[in-house]
Amino acid sequence: MSAIVSVKNLHKAYAGGFEALKTVNLDIEEGEILALLGPNGAGKTTLISTICGITVPSAGTITVGGHDTQTNFRAARSLIGLVPQEINLEPFETVFGTVSFSRGLFGKKRDDAYIEKILGQLSLLDKRDNKIMMLSGGMKRRVLIAKALAHEPRVLFLDEPTAGVDVELRKDMWEVVADLKASGVTIILTTHYIEEAEAIADRVGVINKGEILLVQDKAELMAQMGQKQLRIELATPVDNVPDALAAYALERAADGRNLIYRYDTTGERTGITTLLGDLQKAGLQMTDIQTQQSSLEDIFVGLVKETA
């Protein structure tokens, strides 16, 4: 795969001198879904709007499809669709009119069949002639996506696409994003919902305080940084972990009814077999055992805490 968006040594300081981005380097591969995670104020929106040419970088270069966003803005911008955080639609306009007009803004020839195809993809075809003000919040978000796709961009930026959207609709949006990927669009989304990144992203980037802490394949990240835990339920609760088991650094939980053992998923040995043997030797009887993998959320919280 080759990079469709390439960000090199990007730095952004706002007028007051605040450094929103500190030397960001990022390559976005054609056809991937990249989720950018970060706490409030981390610099996600600044990064997106700088790539889209809305915010001027203080230093560094960005290319989209090989076009420099500063020296060749029009060519770079025509490859980008941007779905902003805020709903900024004309309430009296129709769905079709809104999307078709946006295509015209990019100097593309009118193409009703293409607009209808996008509306179909976003389940908006039956709302084609409805006025925007008649739509629900979720439908308006879909119109924002349709509008961003109207000029056939190759890269789509979604800034918090599901903020304030209910769980069911959020899952619908994930399907929409998966369909768009299948149609060949590269997708970058920012989100506060880590489960969203876990569900749909190919790669995950974590930003904090204007710096990219990591960008990594999601599955690899979860395998590498994730810990597993084994929860052992005891027949009789214990007040203390027996000294003979000190080496396992077990944690008591549920009033001593459970013991928790954490182990590294990348280690050669988990130590579980010897632990179970030693538990028996120590005279502890188990009634149940369960394993649990740490989630992307655990990993994210750990990373951001480290740089706090």
Ligand X SMILES: Nc1ncnc2c1ncn2[C@@H]1O[C@H](COP(=O)(O)OP(=O)(O)OP(=O)(O)O)[C@@H](O)[C@H]1O
Where does 67-185 show beta strands of DSSP type E? 67-68, 80-83, 155-159
Closest contact distance (angstroms) between CB of 24 and ligand X is: 11
Q: Hey, which residues does 234 pair with through a beta bridge?
A: 286
Closest contact distance (angstroms) between CB of 60 and ligand X is: 16
Closest contact distance (angstroms) between CB of 18 and ligand X is: 5
Calpha distance 115→251 (Å, rounded): 58
Size of site (CB under 6 A) for ligand X? 12
3-state secondary structure 231-278: EEEECCCCCCCCHHHHHHCCEEECCCCEEEEEEECCCCCCCHHHHHHH
Residue number with CB closer to ligand X (16 or 184): 16
**Contact in structure between 123 and 142 (CB atoms under 8 Å):** yes
Establish if 308 lies at the interface with ligand X (CB under 6 A).
no
286-293 vs 227-234, strand pairing mode = antiparallel
Residue number with CB closer to ligand X (132 or 144): 144
Site string for ligand X, 27-56 (x = CB under 6 A): -----------x-xxxxxxx----------
Calpha distance 224→27 (Å, rounded): 21
**What backbone torsions phi and psi does residue 4 show, to the nearest 5 degrees?**
-95, -30
Establish if 161 lies at the interface with ligand X (CB under 6 A).
no
Q: Using CB under 6 A, which residues numbered 224 to 263 contact ligand X?
A: none
Residue number with CB closer to ligand X (164 or 237): 164
Residue number with CB closer to ligand X (18 or 126): 18
Closest contact distance (angstroms) between CB of 259 and ligand X is: 39
Residue number with CB closer to ligand X (121 or 190): 190
Choices 11-19, 146-154, 237-245, 273-281; region in contact with ligand X by CB under 6 A: 11-19
Closest contact distance (angstroms) between CB of 48 and ligand X is: 8
Closest contact distance (angstroms) between CB of 297 and ligand X is: 16
Where does the chain show beta strands of DSSP type E? 3-13, 19-29, 33-37, 59-64, 67-68, 80-83, 155-159, 186-191, 203-208, 211-217, 227-234, 251-253, 258-264, 286-293
Closest contact distance (angstroms) between CB of 273 and ligand X is: 45
Residue number with CB closer to ligand X (81 or 210): 210
Residue number with CB closer to ligand X (41 or 237): 41
Q: Please list, in sequence order, all residues whose beta carbon lies within 8 angstroms of the beta carbon of residue 274, skipping any fewer than 6 positions away.
A: none
Establish if 14 lies at the interface with ligand X (CB under 6 A).
yes
Closest CA to 157 of 144, 138, 170, 172: 144
Establish if 18 lies at the interface with ligand X (CB under 6 A).
yes
Calpha distance 66→54 (Å, rounded): 18
Establish if 20 lies at the interface with ligand X (CB under 6 A).
yes
Establish if 164 lies at the interface with ligand X (CB under 6 A).
no
Per DSSP, the three-state class of 176 is helix
Establish if 274 lies at the interface with ligand X (CB under 6 A).
no
In the sheet that 155-159 helps form, which strands lie side by side, from edge to edge?
80-83, 155-159, 186-191, 33-37, 203-208, 211-217
Residue number with CB closer to ligand X (21 or 299): 21
Footprint on this chain of ligand X (rule: CB under 6 A): 14, 16, 18, 20, 38, 40-46
